[in-house]
């Protein structure tokens, strides 16, 4: 059985982005996250875990720690962010970049998200600092490759229900994607700062379509990359 960690962005005192009509990102992400979990749990080969199942704040590091605690096979962070231009629109999928962000919007979004707090470290059980760094780099390189495969599968499905902001998976330094051993993606369901997309994000039918599209992408990924037993690293903090 494969475990998918579902991470509804923001929560509690952190509302995330706020649409022109007053829609809070934290409410949209939780609604879609709950729908995604229900769909995942309906499949006997899958199980879902929510990093938050209510309106409360969870630090970025704890979100990753929760995923690692259940030995998650995938980590899917759900957002509905804003941009400085109200005409920005479309769905996006992000993976971690160890270099620069792939676009100005990607850089802006990552800086905005990371301002909340910082991710903790990992303990590889190796005393030699250089060896530990090398092992971590190797683990993260393989994980980032899998993240890109997952991202492409999910992005392909999102394109069937919404315009895509970019035609390819984007890269940025989102702290919540920095688990070195779990393929991780961040889904921007739509721009809540765009009045038309804000209306769609509030619509339960659209929320259900979004959850269904993400699930189809996950299944497409697993069809070519079956989950395997991994030696997870211990989380500190």
Say yes or no to pLDDT of 164 above 50: yes
Say yes or no to pLDDT of 15 above 70: yes
Residue 233 pLDDT level (bands cut at 50, 70, 90): very low
**Secondary structure (DSSP) of the chain:** -EEEEEEE--BTTB---B-TT--BHHHHHHHHHHHHHHHHHTSTTEEEEES-SSS----HHHHHHHHHHTT-SEEEEEE----SSTT---BEEEEE-SS--SSHHHHHHHHHHHTS-----EE-S-S-HHHHHHHHHHHHHHHHHHHHHHHHHHHHHHTTTS-BSSSS-EEE--GGG--TTS-EEEEE---TTSHHHHHHHH-HHHHHHHHHHHHHHHHHHHHHS------PPEE--
Say yes or no to pLDDT of 155 above 80: yes
Highest mean pLDDT among 38-47, 92-101, 133-142, 143-152: 38-47
Interatomic CA distance for residues 7 and 33, integer angstroms: 7
Burial class (CB in 10 A: 0-12, 13-18, 19+), 135: middle
Interatomic CA distance for residues 92 and 151, integer angstroms: 9
The pLDDT score that the predictor gives to residue 16 is: 93
The pLDDT score that the predictor gives to residue 71 is: 93
Nearest in space to 58 (alpha carbons), one of 90, 99, 26: 26
Residue 126 pLDDT level (bands cut at 50, 70, 90): very low
Residue 109 pLDDT level (bands cut at 50, 70, 90): low
Average pLDDT value for residue range 8-18: 94
The end-to-end CA distance of the chain, in Å, is 27
Residue 106 pLDDT level (bands cut at 50, 70, 90): low
Within 10 Å of residue 53's Cβ, how many Cβ atoms?
A: 14
Average pLDDT value for residue range 78-95: 90
Interatomic CA distance for residues 127 and 221, integer angstroms: 35
Average pLDDT value for residue range 156-181: 89
The rounded percent of the chain whose pLDDT value lies above 90 is 64
Q: For the whole prediction, is pTM greater than 0.85?
A: no
In the chain, where the domains are located = 2-235
Say yes or no to pLDDT of 92 above 80: yes
Per-residue pLDDT tens over the stretch 195-226: 999 999 999 999 999 999 999 999 999 999 99
Interatomic CA distance for residues 167 and 165, integer angstroms: 7
Q: Domain 2-235 carries which CATH code?
A: 3.40.630.40
Burial class (CB in 10 A: 0-12, 13-18, 19+), 94: buried
Could you tell me how far CA 16 lies from the centroid of its own chain? 15
Say yes or no to pLDDT of 96 above 50: yes
């Amino acid at each position: 059985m494969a475990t998918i960690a579902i991470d509804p962005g923001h929560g509690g005192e952190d509302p995330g982005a706020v649409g022109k009509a007053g829609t809070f990102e934290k409410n949209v992400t939780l609604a879609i996250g709950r729908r995604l979990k229900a769909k995942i749990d309906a499949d006997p080969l899958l199980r879902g875990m929510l990093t938050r199942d209510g309106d409360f704040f969870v630090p970025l590091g704890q979100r990753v720690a929760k995923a690692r605690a259940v030995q998650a096979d995938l980590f899917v962070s759900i957002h509905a962010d804003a941009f400085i231009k109200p005409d920005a629109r479309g769905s996006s999928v992000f993976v971690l970049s160890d270099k620069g962000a792939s676009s100005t919007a990607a850089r802006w979004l990552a800086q905005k998200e990371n301002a909340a707090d910082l991710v903790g470290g990992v303990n590889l059980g190796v005393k030699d600092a250089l060896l530990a760094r090398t092992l971590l780099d190797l683990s993260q390189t393989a994980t980032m490759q899998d993240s890109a495969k997952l991202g492409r599968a999910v992005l392909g499905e999102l394109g069937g229900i919404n315009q895509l902001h970019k035609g390819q998976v984007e890269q940025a330094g989102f702290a919540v994607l920095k688990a070195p051993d779990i393929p991780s993606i961040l889904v921007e369901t739509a721009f809540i700062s765009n009045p038309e997309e804000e209306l769609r994000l509030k619509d339960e039918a659209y929320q259900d379509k979004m959850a269904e599209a993400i699930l189809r992408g996950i299944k497409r990924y697993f069809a070519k990359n079956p989950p395997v037993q991994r030696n997870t690293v211990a989380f500190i903090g």
